[in-house]
Amino acid sequence: MRIVKTIGTLFLAALLAAAVAAQVKKPQPSGVAPTGDAPALMIESFTHDFGEVKAGTPLRYAFKIKNIGKADLLINSVSPG
């Protein structure tokens, strides 16, 4: 019975390690122009905090997006994260 618990624990540890390794990091803007003729998106900030807001208050914020590449940058869709 002890060997079953040990194998189960090792399996669970391997599963958790694989899940952590599979996480994809978002690229941070570097401000360095890309090489070649590819478009490159640069966003100054990925998040915005409105702070405390009363319910029903309309909120607006414009993210600053810039194409630092040499080709046209096409944005086909945008969705909240």
pLDDT of residue 28: 54
Distance between CA atoms of residues 59 and 81, nearest Å? 17
pTM: 0.43
pLDDT of residue 55: 95
Distance CA 77, CA 26 (A): 18
pLDDT of res. 75: 87
> What value, to the nearest 5°, has the Cα angle with vertex 49 and ends 43 and 50?
125
The pLDDT of 59-65, averaged and rounded, is 91
Task: Dump pLDDT digits (tens) for 1-52.
Answer: 788 788 878 777 777 777 766 766 555 555 555 567 889 889 888 899 999 9
Task: Report H helices in the chain.
Answer: 2-21
